Amino acid sequence: RVPFRVGEQLTYDLRLKLGVVGLGRVGTGRMLIAGVDTVRGRPSYHLVFEIQGGTIGFRVKDRYESWVDTATFASLRHTQQIREGGYHRNTSYEIFPERSTYSKNGGDEHPSVNLPLDDGSFIYYVRTLALDAGERREVGRYFKPAQNPVVLVASRRDSVDVPAGRFA
């Protein structure tokens, strides 16, 4: 069981502060569980992350997508479309948890880890953990082994009130 469902969408205002001066809202961010797709025969959550906005002379329009096996919560695919100012990049990763490898942009396979997580799926994985305030946990599941462990520190427990109700 997971603490989210298909159709869940979280929308954020992006604000910029330079030193003590707040420039206000400069864009929006969105996290969405778009559906359940099939990747290489496996039912997979399709996660979408979008960031749009900017200031005069610098615009950002990024889109990250992840496909995560619904049974094992291991990443199967991750794409990045990055548009930040004059910098543009499209990257696609195919992740093969059954053999602990991944490939970038259709290239050679590289070693990965057991039950790998990509950038987007890691955020949803953290939501499945029961962390106590002040708890520190090291997680070695990021799909690029050299960037492990990812260190999580729970600063506090909180809840939020939204039109659908109150959520921890």
pLDDT tens over the chain, length 168 residues: 898 999 999 999 998 888 777 778 899 999 999 999 999 999 999 999 999 999 888 999 999 999 999 999 999 999 999 999 999 999 999 999 999 999 999 999 999 999 999 999 999 999 999 899 999 999 999 999 999 999 999 998 888 888 888 987
Q: What is the pTM of this model?
A: 0.89
Q: How far apart are CA 138 and CA 118, in angstroms?
A: 16
Provide the H-helix boundaries in the chain: 119-127
Q: In this structure, what are the phi and psi dihedrals at residue 18, rounded to the nearest 5 degrees?
A: -110, 105
> Beta strand 101-104 with 109-111: parallel, antiparallel or unpaired?
antiparallel
